[in-house]
Structures are given as C-alpha cells and as structure tokens.
A and B are shown apart, each in its own frame.
Chain A
C-alpha cells in the first residue's frame, strides 16, 4: 500500500518540479527581454535612426575647342547611353539578375563585345547559374585549406571547358552585360553601353527603369574632330572610361573630386586645360537609412558642362601649312636623293602677341609609306638651327662690347693649329655686321666668339686658346634671353629645351653659327619673334580665350577669360642694336646678295629673315653619316611684323643640287598667310557693304 501511494504521488511531484523549471526558464526569457528592450532599447533605436549620406557625382560633357575663327575643332558627339550605378552592398547574383533583365531590352551582340568576353567571365556566369553544383565539386579538404578568394578561383577552375563552350547568343549577351556591370564602383555611374544604342533601345530601357535597379538611361558623349587628323597631336586625347584617371597622377585627380572611371585629358591641350574643360559634376546627395533605403535625394551642386576653349590657331591656315610642308617634304623625298630625310617642321606665330597661328610637322613613315601629322615634334625634337641664330650672335657681340655696329672683319677660311679649318660658305672678303647677316658670314661670327673668349688678335695657324673663363656661359646666357636653350613657356604639357654640349673654345665657334647646341623649332620661332618684336620675348600660346558654356548647343558663350600677351623678358640689347640686326635680316631677304633675295626680293609684304644650313653628322652602326639641316626664320612685314616663322628640315642629303626646301616652305607659308588675309579682308568688306 505504501508503495502504491508513493507511485501515485510520483507524477504530480515530477510535474511540479517541471513546472517550476518552466517558470524559471520563462523568467529568464522575461529578464533577457527586459535587458534587450528596456536597458539597451534606446541604443538600438539610435542605431536605426542613424542615416548615411552618400553623394553621387554625375559627369557632365567636356568643354569644346574652337579655333581662332570660332570653327569647332573638337566637338562632343552626344550618344545615348545606358549606365549602371550600383547600390551599396550589391552582390554578384544581383548584378546577374539586372543583366538578365537588361538583356531583354538592349542587344550586346557586336563582334568586339562578344570577343571581349573572357573565359573567366563565362566561368563566373556558369558558377552563378549552377552554384550548388560548382561548389559541390570542390573537395572538402580544399574548402578547408583555402580562403574564400582562392576557394572561388579553384571552383571556377573546376568548371569544364565544355560547360562554358556552348552558351547561346542570348546567354553571351547576358555575360557581356554583366561584365560591364561588374566594373562599376558603388554609387558611381558606369557606362554599360554607349556605342550604337538605338533610340528604340534607349526608349525601352527608359520605360522599364523601375524594374532595373541601378540602371539609368542617359546621354553620354564622345570627342569628335571635324578636321580629322589636322593638329590632332597638339589637341591631344582623353582617356577611355576603362583607363579612367591617369595612374601616375591618381592622387592629383582624386583630391580634385574625380571618380576613378572619369575620362581625363591624357596629353596635349586636353591635358593642359583639363581643369577648364572638365566642367563641374552634378552632385546628388542620397540619404539612406541603415538598411540602405533611400530616404531623400537632393542636388547639392548644380552640374555645369566644361568651359570651351578658343585657340589662337587658324585651322584653315593650319591645314594650308600642313599641306605645304607635306608637299615640299614629298618633293624632297621623291625628286631628290634624301635617304635620311623624315621630318619637316614649321611654326608660325604672331611675334607681337605670341599667338600661335600654325604649328606643323610632317613625318614620313618609311615603313607605312605615309605622311603623318606630328606637330608635337616642333616641341619634342631639337635640331641644329644653323645660321638662323646669327642674329643672336651679332647682338651678343654688340652687348658684350666686342664689336660695335659697322665693325668689319676679313672673311676667309681660318686655319687653327690642332683644330680643323673653319670658313664661310665662300670667301666673302671684307664684311661688316650687316653684310655678315645678309650673306651669312661664318667667319664674322667666329671673330665675335673669339673676342668674347678674350682672343682679340688672330694669326693664321694660331692655337685656339681663350683667356676669359666663362666665355661659353656668357654666350649661352645671351642666347637664353631669346628663348634659345630654355623653355619657351608655351601652354603645353611638355617641351624639350635642346641638347647642351661641352664647353671648349672650338665649340664656341660652332655655337656661334648654330652648329653646336640644338634647339626646338618652337624655341627658334620665339627667338625670331623676339627680334621682330623689338626685343620683347613673348610667351607663345595656343589658348586665346576661355568661354563660358552656353546653354545653346552650337554657339559660343560669353568670354570668361582672355589670354593676354605675356612678355617674359626684354633682351638687354639696346633698341638701336636690335634695329641693326633687323636691318641685316631685311637685307638677307630683300637686298641683292642676300641669301634669301632670289626668293623674297620681289614680295610686296616686305619680309625679313635669315637662312641657315647646318652640317648634321651622326654615326649609325659605326658609320659616319653626313646630312644637312636646312632652316629658315623670318617675319613679315618688316616694319610692322604680324607673322613670324621658323622652319627646320633635318637630315637632308649633302649634294649640291639639293631641293631648297626651307625656302620653298617659307615662301609658300608667307604667300598663303597674306593671301588668306587678303581673302578674309575682302570677305569682311563685302559683309560690311551688305
């Protein structure tokens, strides 16, 4: 009986204990609930209320470039464009979904695009579509050993070639779209397709934007060059979206608010005036809550397209100069024996303002057998200028006091002990300073150089020893006042300053006749401009004006900034000395016996200038190759110069019946300039009469 009683009590007893345990468990729940909700609740609420603000920058079109006459040189061609701005925390799978949806509305089947799909793109696609199977293939040991990235890469490797071989065209399009989507940075627009977007595609996407998270239908632009390759190497180019900002200047761009995939000027004027052309991006600030929902968006910075550039270049004239240089180069190549000849360079500048009117270099590519516009060579390549710089030598002579105007020397070959004999192109007899420039006397220049070195008396077979110590530095310093051997200050990202040789007495004599240091055509142009401009050395520039972007597409906005003439320095020499050299230059072109008289003596635009021939010897494969550079500088009209030019054609053959290419180019350039001017004046008058 007792036993039975115990049994009876067993269940209620255990139930009581159990129920007590339940009570305890539930108390724990309530307690913890209190901790979470009452103790920490406020912090959680704060966390929820915290919002995040992100700014999206929307690119604006780049500024255009116009020439002097307001003709468009670099234009923006608008393109329909489909962009993708990924929301925060978007996964590969999400992008695939977007790609699949987008594939319904646009086609991505151009051959280049399809060829651009890599094996890896296909594998990633297959992986996403067959994730379980793909992951299952990797052995457990491998999963354990590898980190996530390696594991993913291994898994991709295990996908067989067969599996990624027979995608349908539709699937390939999805892969191609996804590839573009994958490139996007969070909250930064990425172009998915902008070439060949048809208006239909654009409309279809625009209609379905709400189904396509992150996708937008906008207009993009590409650079267009109405003048083709003319002047293109100076205009430069911009990076593609793939290239983005230039890696070597990454910090520079990022601190200035660029996105990594922004297109920037990568060389030429596009690089030089990047700040002006880029414009101001529209900035939209999104306020999102913790879960990424957009609560608010507002435009914090109104966008504005880039400002326009107006250049000093006259494209019509530029085209003519290009043509002249190309034709004469062609003549020299085809009708004369010039095996080393490749380039012909010419710079035309307004000597009073520094405005560059035409900058041309033609390069003959012997392999491709074609002429190329290579205007940049006028800044990048330096050549021996020959006698064209004798104006600077004579002025250095005056200024250093070793000669005075009217000084005469006897021009005949000078024999030196232990250095080669040096002479003029022919024996000129007694010459004064003007004769020396007119007939291009080397010997006159040698005397100036020797005197600057301290050697006033010369006997044939003398040893060439100078008593002055810094004779070479003194001569170079005079030259630098003209821009020879220093930067011209041009508004271009790069310019060469030329080769500087060792300083020996013998070399100074060569330097004095343009046979030693090399100079760029731009430097020589600045030198002749300085002489034409009464000693004022002005900065050469391509930019004439910056114009505000104008709302209307095809007209220029108001002037934002005009580039004024900038005098970099005035040479030390007195006005009368300069005028003496100007007269020498005039006689060279306009007086009988002048080296250019036969070409320019009858020109009614009154040119002045100086010819130059430089011996250009170099070794190739241990063999000495002798060539000459034919150069020419000049300006016109003599009394009120409005154009100055420098021409250099390096590496011509040494034969005596050579094509006078420097004169041919110089004459035609000046003719073209004044013909065009006359034509323009006539047009203007006719317009005024109407």
Chain B
C-alpha cells in the first residue's frame, strides 16, 4: 500500500462503522421476526442502503474539502429548494403520512428531504463559521453578534419550512445543531448566556401561559391546538392511556424484559409498531439485554469521541472541516440521546430515528453522506499531519 493510499484508510472510523452495521442488521433482523409488516425484507433493503452509502462515502473522497467549502452555499440552496418543492408538490408524489407532508413517494422509494438538508445545513453553517473566523481574526461583541445572526438565519429557513410539514421533532434537531455550533464557534459567553436567558425567559413565559390559560392558548393556536394538549400531558402523567401510549408501554416493557443478558436472536416476545425504525432500541434491549444495550450506547460514545478528536485536531488547518465534524457530532448526539431517552421513558415520544441503526433509506443515506464528509476531513488531517512531520 502506498503512502497516499494509506491516508484513505481511517481504520478506527471503518471499525466503528462496521460495528454499527452489525448492530443495525442484527436488530433489524430481530424486529422483522415480529412479522408485523409482512412481505417486507427490511434486512435486505438495509444492506442495500448501507452498500449505496459506502459507495457515496467512497465517492466523496474524490472531493476536495476546498471544493465542498466553496460549493456549500449552493448545496444549502438546493436543500432549501427541495424543502419548498416538497411543500408545493402534489399529493400524488408527496402524500401525508400521519398528517405530515414529510416524504416524497416514488414507486419503490420514499425519501425524506429534511434528513438530507440536515447535512447541507451543517455544511453551510460550518463554511459560514470558518469564513467568518478568517475574516474576523479578532472577535468582538459586534462580530460575534453578526456571526450569531448568520447562524440563526441559516438555520431558521429550513426550520421554518419543516415546521410547515409539520414536523416538530426534526426542526428541534436543527435548532440543537445550531445551538451546539454557536457554542463551539467561539461566540462570547456574554452573548451566549444572554441568548440562553432570553430563550429560557420566553420559553418559561410561553409554558406558563399555556398551563395557566390553556383555553386561550388553544384559541390562539387554532389548528395547532393539539400541541397544547401535548404539553399539558407532561403535567398530567395520569392521563388515560391512548393508543400511542399503549404502543410506547409495549416497547418499554419489551426493553425491560431483556434484563441483564437479553433473550438472544429471534426470541422477541412483544410486538409493537415501528420496531425496526424509531423503537429499534427496544429491540436491542430485549434481544441483547443490559450488556448489549450499554455497549451500543458506548459505541455512540466512542463515535462522538472520535468526532471530537478529529475536529479538535484539524481545526487549526481547516476550521471548515472541524465545524463539519462538530455539526455531525451534534446531529448524532441529539438523535442518539433523544431516541434512546425516549425509549427509556426519560424523553418525550417523537418520531426520531436512531442514526446508523434504525431501518430507513433517508436516514441511512443522509448519515452516510455526513459520515463520508467527516471521513474526508479525517483523511485530510492524516495528509496534513504527515506533511507537517515530514
């Protein structure tokens, strides 16, 4: 293997990825044994998605980070256009699923654009932050405010569009990523703490208003009044159980029944909907027990650690690359924590997949694209450091 080729073998990333693929395929296989969605071979499809994903990762390695940096604005623009297209698309290709217009549906293929625009938004945010930092080497409150404004504006556009679908959970993911990047972009603590205070104040006021004047709040929200009910259920845990919570209870029971060692392959006893997607962690818990589930959590921890390391190492050479890493880190973090937390009953129930494990073309492909770019950043770092130490 030549020196140049060896840059492209990031063995720890590859090793982590293979572990994730194994976990994903095993748990999707187990979920499939519940036979709730007869006639669908999820494992086979998931293998295809991973295979396509690997090709994409490989293809991305041919790109230069500089090229990505320059094209980021364009890519972001395309992403926003796709989101607009989704909203205006006829129902024949974008029918509502569970009341939300989130999917393009073509024969044999469904795509969720919001998954992909996560990556395009991260790219443009990273590019914007690094451009800003080169331009304003010395930061002041003024420049920091400007950067904050840019970040918020870039995030606001897709968030607004996604709220129209409406998909509350996914837009929260965007806000979380933006928040993480704001903190890591070096914006002064003064501004950040001010921002946090402001948001907390508004949030608390809004919450207080809803709780105190529930009826008025519903009137103001009109058609979105059910959101108020959602909030109210946090405060009234003894609500009679409806279908959704019955499904959750089933998944929760399944997870718990895995106990320390799990039930092994092909031995699930409890069926619940969305076992192969949003509630995949319950399948992992039932199949592989506390030990297996804890290992999966640790696997995410390792991935996050790796992303932090890459970002930290490269940020001197390529702030853009570093911020891409941090954006991707935020994405993985929020999905993993929210999804697992939801399954464990400490986070509210939202339809957010467990990235790299849950079955689903859109989430797998978009995550692989993100991973591909991070991989390219890691390769870049290897090249740079090699060059430096020569």
Contact = CB atoms under 8 A, between A and B. Distances in A.
* Bound together: yes
Interface of A: 3, 7, 10-12, 14-15, 18-19, 22-23, 25-26, 28-30, 32-34, 36-38, 40-45, 47-48, 140, 144, 289-291
A376 B301 CA distance: 89
A141 to B, nearest CB: 8
A246 B43 CA distance: 57
B308 A41 contact: no
B163 interface: no
24 contacts: A11-B186, A14-B183, A18-B183, A18-B184, A19-B305, A26-B298, A26-B300, A26-B301, A28-B346, A29-B297, A29-B337, A36-B256, A37-B259, A37-B289, A38-B259, A38-B290, A41-B258, A41-B259, A41-B260, A44-B257, A47-B253, A140-B218, A289-B269, A290-B270
B280 to A, nearest CB: 15
B293 interface: yes
Contact of B290 (A34, A45, A291): A34
B223 interface: yes
B266 to A, nearest CB: 16
A35 B180 CA distance: 30
Shortest 7 CB-CB contacts between residues of A and residues of B: A41-B259, A44-B256, A44-B257, A37-B290, A45-B257, A32-B344, A36-B256
Contact of B293 (A10, A33, A44, A45): A33
A48 B294 contact: no
Given A15-B311, A18-B180, A40-B256, A33 B285 contact: yes
Nearest to A290: B270
A37 B285 contact: yes
B364 interface: no
A37 B218 contact: no
A48 B183 contact: no
Interface string B335-364: 001001100111000000000000000000
Interface string B115-145: 0000000000000000000000011000000
Contacts of A144: 215, 218, 225
Contacts of B222: 140
B186 A15 contact: no
B207 interface: no
Interface in B236-260: 250, 252-260
Given A41-B260, A140-B222, A291 B270 contact: yes
Given A48-B270, A290-B270, A33 B305 contact: no
Given A33-B285, A36-B345, A15 B312 contact: yes
B315 interface: yes
Contacts of A14: 183-184, 186
B250 A15 contact: no
Nearest to B243: A91
A457 to B, nearest CB: 90
A140 B223 contact: yes
Given A44-B253, A144-B218, A33 B297 contact: yes
A592 B257 CA distance: 102
Nearest to A45: B257
B184 A37 contact: no
Interface in B277-298: 285, 289-290, 293-294, 297-298
Interface in B187-221: 215, 218
A12 B300 CA distance: 21
Contacts of A25: 333, 337
B271 interface: yes
Given A15-B308, A19-B308, A37-B289, A48 B300 contact: no
B259 A7 contact: no
B304 interface: yes
Interface hub of B257, B269, B297, B304 (most chain A Cβ within 10 A)? B257
Contacts of B184: 11, 14-15, 18
A48 B341 CA distance: 23
B344 A36 contact: yes
Contact of A7 (B186, B215, B305): B186
A278 B167 CA distance: 60
B340 A36 contact: no
A37 B255 contact: yes
B294 A33 contact: yes
Nearest to A34: B290
A11 B316 CA distance: 10
Nearest to A28: B346
Contacts of B138: 3
Given A15-B308, A33-B285, A44-B255, 4 more contacts: A3-B138, A33-B290, A37-B255, A38-B290
B11 to A, nearest CB: 22
A14 B322 CA distance: 14
Nearest to A35: B344
Contacts of B294: 30, 33
A291 B250 contact: yes
Nearest to B326: A15
Contacts of A18: 180, 183-184, 308
A91 to B, nearest CB: 9
A291 B273 CA distance: 12
B17 to A, nearest CB: 20
A517 B300 CA distance: 100
A391 to B, nearest CB: 76
Interface string B316-342: 000000100000000001000100110
Interface hub of A11, A14, A36, A44 (most chain B Cβ within 10 A)? A36
Contacts of A41: 256-260, 290
A37 B184 CA distance: 36
B250 A33 contact: no
Contacts of A22: 301, 304, 333
Contact of A38 (B225, B260, B305, B315): B260
Contacts of A30: 294, 297
A293 to B, nearest CB: 8
Given A42-B259, A44-B253, A48-B257, A291 B271 contact: yes
Nearest to A91: B243
B270 A37 contact: no
Interface string B357-374: 000000000000000000
Contacts of B322: 11
Interface hub of A23, A29, A30 (most chain B Cβ within 10 A)? A29
A37 B256 contact: yes
Contacts of A19: 304-305, 308
B293 A37 contact: yes
Contacts of A291: 250, 270-271
A15 B325 CA distance: 12
B341 A29 contact: yes
Given A36-B256, A44-B257, A29 B218 contact: no
B257 A11 contact: no
Contacts of B300: 26
A45 B293 CA distance: 17
Contacts of A40: 256
A32 B180 CA distance: 25
A43 B253 CA distance: 9
Contacts of A38: 259-260, 290
Contacts of B341: 29, 32
A12 B340 CA distance: 28
A568 B52 CA distance: 96
Contacts of A289: 269
Contacts of A26: 297-298, 300-301, 337
Nearest to B271: A291
A133 B254 CA distance: 36
B285 A48 contact: no
A18 B256 CA distance: 30
Contacts of A29: 297, 337, 340-341, 344
B31 to A, nearest CB: 15
Contacts of B252: 36, 44
Contacts of A15: 184, 308, 311-312
Contact of B139 (A7, A11, A23, A42): A7
Interface hub of A3, A15, A34 (most chain B Cβ within 10 A)? A15
